[in-house]
Structure 1
């Protein structure tokens, strides 16, 4: 069984060696950490396929497009994700106010490979930071620079949305199956086995996840939009590297349908290579990030250059709060 899995792996790793990451699936998390109800998917989602037919550009959206640093022209969403539209049977997640959901994505070596990937230098620890923003009023022409100014209290930037969470890209559990086994990847595989259903002793990659709590004031019967923004910059380097550093962002734009109660049905569409894991990471309610401020790069010594904004960036607390802060007993 192990040899069969590795044979399949040879095909998969040949295709994903240069892949980056995007949200592949969403699921609700029960209070005990179990995944519950049906899975959901980003806008315009295209599933991966074994072989050479899949084009990763169908989901991957890298910013900036044509320079080293983002500016006011960089549109936030992939062209297939700029309006509320689902692809085929890949429907929206149904979730409820105050629910916690897992946004699942492949680490693609950015966690388990030393330095975040082969021949990479200057990349942040823990694979960088994932910021999740939420809005009730999505715009087709939304820009990354604008959204990065949104704050937890909803008063930042143009006040079009709010920052919901900031978490390390690395959830401290996920791993890829690779022919060139890494120390960290193998340690995680042994610590958290992820066998295929009905195949004891088999192996399957374990997706990473970002855990986000839906605001309690979202409206039942309406659709709410989430922006998953992975910040993975390169620090300033000596020549021939980027002497002023380099921005690198990947985004996924997602809609969820807000319902009063989670559906009991656990059917729905699965990925062709469905991750069999059934539980969230143990600390799904208290995830944190090394960098809590989306605008922290702009104040980092030697990084980037001034960008045009509508004014000075708002103050953002560096403290990351738990998804479920302690409630008073009164």
Structure 2
């Protein structure tokens, strides 16, 4: 299960989603303000349901032989327009060159793999198939309107949700922490990346999570499931310079992933 993060150039107008975005200092500490995806809904909202934020492609009910269609948007309906903001859950603010963390819950995909044994372990007009596996790191792919920022595993190597199965119990021991809201006793997964230094104004990121189903008798070709989140970052003046000086033994509620920060 892999995560790909795409950014559409600014001159153009896993069942998982990004819960929140955070800014990381160069020593890996999570600091300052919190940001949210477009159309975010608080889990404390009485009207909250997974369906308010989850976006699955191909959608449930579509014939498996059809798969993902060229007309399928990369963002769900409530996230297609830039500026689709809940005033109480605003976008992240960050400077060019800063590290950011996209945090999400593992939903059992990491700690309960036996629950889905058939699974492999780990913009308004923008269409998934014109971006996903098309835009590349140097910006020459497809329509050249965007770039692949990073590719990360869904499992960051330490995240877990509390349950009695062996993976969760082992990680609870290895990556012990004090319960802190909003994660509670769980340790959320994250994708850490460094923003480019030449960006300005608003910056859009598409988070794409692949969760393929292995071939079965009823699905001889298997089936790809894709979940996405679309988000904007308000770019502040100035540029973050310097290299990562990774500090060990930090509170895991507020720490980035060493390997992800060091690879850029």
Deviations 1:89-141 (A, max 9, x none): 101101111211100000010011134xx1x2332222xxxxxxxxxxxx312
Deviations 1:13-40 (A, max 9, x none): xxxxxx9210000001111110011010
Counterparts of 1:53 and 1:164, CA distance in 2: 34
Q: Secondary structure at the match of 1:80?
A: helix
RMSD: 2.2
Q: Are 2:26 and 1:31 aligned?
A: yes
Counterparts of 2:78 and 2:252, CA distance in 1: 28
Deviations 1:242-279 (A, max 9, x none): 111101000000000111259xxxxxxxxxxxx98111
Match of 1:42 in 2: 37
Match of 2:90 in 1: 91
Which is greater in Rg? Answer: 1
Q: TM-score, normalised by structure 2?
A: 0.82
Q: Are 2:216 and 1:234 aligned?
A: no
Deviations 1:165-206 (A, max 9, x none): 00100001110013xx111111111111221359xxxx6111
**Aligned partner (choices 43, 51, 59) of residue 53 of structure 2:** 59
Q: Are 2:170 and 1:187 aligned?
A: yes
Matches within 5 A, 1:1-330: 20-49=15-44, 53-65=47-59, 66-68=62-64, 69-84=67-82, 85-115=84-114, 118=115, 120-126=116-122, 139-148=123-132, 149-178=134-163, 181-196=164-179, 204-219=185-200, 222-237=201-216, 239-240=217-218, 242-261=219-238, 277-286=253-262, 322-323=263-264
Q: 1:67, CA displacement in angstroms?
A: 3.8
Q: Secondary structure at the match of 1:209?
A: strand
Q: Secondary structure at the match of 2:148?
A: strand
Runs (4 or more) in structure 1 with deviation over 6 Å come to none
Q: TM-score, normalised by structure 1?
A: 0.66
Match of 2:4 in 1: none
CA change 1:67–1:258 in 2 (3 A) is farther
Question: Number of matched residues?
Answer: 232
The answer to whether the 8 A contact 1:33-1:284 is kept is: no
